[in-house]
Amino acid sequence: MQEANDISVDVKGKMEAVDPLIESVHDVGDMLHDVTSSMKRTALQKENRKTVHTQDTEDKQENKPVRIKLK
């Protein structure tokens, strides 16, 4: 019984030691989400969206523009 209690205390101590790291990773994830959401909002608000051409050839009829839309 004492050995089980010792193991439980050891595991609890290790979990408490790792907890700040897990919180930091969570905070970084939240920050990345905020940044990407902001970039997405900014891109959707721009009226002059840019068209990207897939190739730079002289025959423009074969070259179809690609428009990237963010959802």
pTM over 0.75? The answer is no
Among 37, 68, 36, CA closest to 54: 68
Cα 9 to Cα 16: distance, rounded to the nearest angstrom? 11
From first to last of its 71 residues, the chain has per-residue pLDDT tens of: 888 899 999 999 999 999 999 999 999 999 999 999 988 888 777 766 666 655 655 555 566 666 676 65
The H or E element that residue 65 is part of is: strand 65-66
